[in-house]
A and B are shown apart, each in its own frame.
Chain A
Amino acid sequence: MQLDVFQALADPTRRRIVETLLAGEQQVADVVAKAGIHQSGVSRHLRILHDGGFVSMRPDGQRRFYALQPAPFRELDGWLTPYRELWEARLDRFGAALEERSKQRRAKEAKEGKKRS
């Protein structure tokens, strides 16, 4: 089953596996120990992450080493970028409106100050 990037990372155990692998390539036993997860199910989670392109697997004799791959993280980042840009543009307008508002308030205050004096 091929999950999309959000589904693959929606599972907390898989996020913990990914966070553990940030430290570098590791074998399954180390992932289990460092991520503090149960042995059962880890192969399934690693397979899902592998199918989704999040991790690569390198066999070495009886052992299997897992490491993170950048592609899906780039996809995640790329997916979020337009939303970030839209909001950045919105906040640029907020900044301009704020400047205008501050200017008007200061002008009003100066006028009122003059009247009082």
Chain B
Amino acid sequence: MNAQEKAQRGTLVIERSYRANIGDVWDLWTTKDGFESWWGPQGFRVEVSELNARVGGALCYEMIADTPEMIAAMKQMGSPASHPVNSRFTELEPRERLVITNVIDFIPGVTPYENRVAVDFKVQGAQVRMVVTFDAMHSDQMTQMQKEGFTSQLTKLDKRFGSAA
């Protein structure tokens, strides 16, 4: 991605260092139980149906609202409490780098776009440094908001027609 694209997409970088074994860090991204143990926005958990950690390999999971508040919020928005996510590992260098790409082509009225999360790993003595680069504008939260926005627009329309009838 060049600088212009970065500015347009609002790319953000977060770095963390962990006193841990690189194998454990890597497994949290590339194994079913590892991925399920932490992934997902607050209020959601994931259930992985397919995870194939190689270039082009699938990463498919169900994102499930997991707290009473979130379940209620999704219901209020007229969204199902869970939705499937189909991603792919588009780059993968074992214990060094991986890129997870998700093609968002299901939001009505929005041009299909890619949501990418790139992760670089570096062992520094007893620590592992992890650098996560992601697109803020094209993140899964943004996708969710766009979906919700669209849904709530439709709900408003329904109401308008409903009240007119």
| Residues of A bordering B, CB below 8 Å | 6, 9-10, 12, 15, 79-80, 83-84, 86-91, 93-102, 105
Given that A12-B3, A90-B38, A101-B27 are contacting pairs, would A84 and B141 also be in contact in the complex, using a CB cutoff of 8 Å?
A: no
Q: List 27 A-B contacts (CB under 8 A).
A: A6-B8, A6-B10, A9-B7, A10-B4, A12-B4, A15-B7, A79-B10, A80-B12, A83-B10, A83-B12, A83-B134, A84-B14, A86-B41, A86-B139, A86-B141, A89-B42, A90-B39, A90-B41, A91-B16, A91-B132, A94-B38, A95-B16, A97-B37, A97-B38, A98-B28, A101-B37, A102-B24
- Which residues from chain A contact B7 at a C-beta distance below 8 Å? 6, 9-10, 15
Check A105–B4 contact: CB distance below 8 A.
no
Across the interface, A80 reaches (CB within 8 A) one of B24, B25, B136, namely B136
**Does chain A have a CB within 8 A of B150?**
no
Most chain A Cβ neighbours within 10 Å, of B34, B40, B136, B142:
B136
Q: In the assembly, what is the distance between CA of A101 and CA of B7, in Å?
A: 37
B18: contacting residue among A10, A84, A95, CB under 8 A: A95
In Å, the complex CA distance between A89 and B43 comes to: 11
**The residue from A83, A84, A90, A98 contacting B25, defined by CB atoms under 8 A apart:** A98
Residues from chain A with Cβ under 8 Å of B4 in the complex: 10, 12
Tell me whether A86 and B42 are in contact (CB under 8 A).
yes
Residue B73 at the chain A interface, CB threshold 8 Å: no
Residues of A contacting B130 with CB < 8 Å?
91
Contact check: which of A9, A86, A95, A101 meets B34 at CB < 8 Å? A101
**Bound complex: CA A93 to CA B137 (Å):** 22
Across-interface contacts of B12 in A (CB, < 8 A): 80, 83-84, 87
Chain B residues whose C-beta falls within 8 Å of the C-beta of A83 in the assembled complex? 10, 12, 134, 136, 139, 141-142
